[in-house]
Amino acid sequence: MKNKFYHISTYSVMRYWTILWMAILSFSCSDFNPMDSYSRIPPDRNTDIDDGDEGDGAGGLFEKGYGTVNKPYLVMDVIQIQNMSEALVKGKMIYFQLGADIDMKSISNWDPLNPTGDYYIYFDGNNHIIKNFTCTDKAYASFFRYFGRDL
């Protein structure tokens, strides 16, 4: 009976070791967290409890806040002014507060917020000003198309 010799090349051994180490490294570097961003429950924005949390500002659209009466979205610059339309929820009052004077000269033609009147907006200027505001070529040129509606 002949003795069978299996020839295993150095290349294939190194290839398998590399794959094994890459797999080990990828599993050791990943941190399994069952409360990661895909399963995390957002904070309850309908509560009036002040727990010291400043709010996530709608995921970074605003400086801080939850859009509630006690924690309004804090608007600090022209980008955040433009983000206001993204935070509106049909049939729900959303609260905004200016945190600084805002120059809107970079916006050449503003599209009014709440064009159909389906949204409820509470806007607190907080003794700040919006300057260089321009809105033309609209049926009703204004910052808010509909501002006050009966709830």
pLDDT tens for residues 84-135? 888 888 888 889 999 999 998 988 878 888 777 788 888 899 999 989 888 7
> What residue type is assigned to position 8 of the chain?
I
> What residue type is assigned to position 39 of the chain?
S
In this predicted model, which residue has the larger pLDDT, 107 or 31?
107
pLDDT (0 to 100) of residue 96: 92
Output the pTM of the full model.
0.61
**What does the alpha-carbon distance between residue 26 and residue 50 come to, in Å, rounded to a whole number?**
41
- Can you name the residues that pair with 97 across neighbouring β-strands? 74, 124
In 3D space, the residue among 139, 134, 130 whose CA is nearest the CA of residue 108 turns out to be 134
pLDDT (0 to 100) of residue 6: 58
Q: Is the Cβ–Cβ distance between 88 and 95 less than 8 Å?
A: no
Instruction: State the pLDDT confidence band at 136, using cuts at 50, 70 and 90.
Output: confident
Structure tokens at 141: 């040129």
